[in-house]
Amino acid sequence: MRNVLVVAGGTSGIGEATALYFAKREWDVAIIGRNAVAGERIEGQLNSCGGFHSFYEADLTDPEQVTQVFGDITSRYSRLDAAFNCAGILGTPANIPDQSLAELRRVLDVNLSATFLCLQHQMRIMSAQGHGSIVNCSSIGGVVGMPGIAPYVASKHALIGLTKSAALEVAPAGVRVNCVSPGATYTPMQEKMIANDPNLEASLAQSHPLGRIARPDEIASAVFWLSASDATFVTGTNVMVDGGFSAR
């Protein structure tokens, strides 16, 4: 029987790359996202790898929709071996005195609350079956401060704490929960920022000791390692996939 992965926020960037990475390694993959056009496109790519893959359109900040989608996934696959929670937005850049409370809440809702809601269902399902691996997606912004994007940074710091607490709660059931924190990565969000600033790409590359920006599949490979049998004694940790950025 093939293993099953769910990717919450799987219709672009690192989530999309992770879904494809697992599918190419003979996992069945369910992706969840709000963009139906992108979701159906990725579902087609997944199906070309063979196996049983599906896209679910849902707003992950809506508790009722999250409950519905995990019920549907459980009914279809009857198991959940791994989950990757990577829904996220940058928010509108501004210094704290110029940020609105509404913007803070919007960023926290997508970056933190959505993962919290998904975790509730993933932890219940995996605890009942006695095994499973959950990986949350933080950022280098989850371990350092960054000016102008405080809501994003706060949300990513919070994800690491959420991961550690979740790991302790489900460890007795044989379930592992970890986090990955990517450095600058070629995602649609990053590429949009680069398009608006011709000097940004070189600056980002230079800020990482390896001297370049990551590919999404390089983050996906870390998620796969944490989810597969090689990392069975790893839980409650945050894996930096940042080209050495945080070592400075």
Catalytic residue ranges: 152
- Count of CB atoms within 10 A of residue 188's CB? 12
* Residue among 139, 161, 41 at smallest CA distance from 89: 139
d(CA 202, CA 95): 24
Q: How many CB atoms lie within 10 A of CB 125?
A: 18
Q: Tally DSSP H helices, then E strands, for the chain.
A: 9, 7
CA-CA distance, 71 to 198, in Å (whole number)? 45
Please report how the helices 150-170 and 114-129 are oriented relative to each other, as an axis angle in degrees rounded to 10. 10
Q: CA–CA separation, 202 vs 77, rounded Å? A: 44
Contact 82, 105 (CB under 8 A): no
Contact, 247 vs 172, CB < 8 A?
no
Whose tokens are 């009722």? That residue is 64
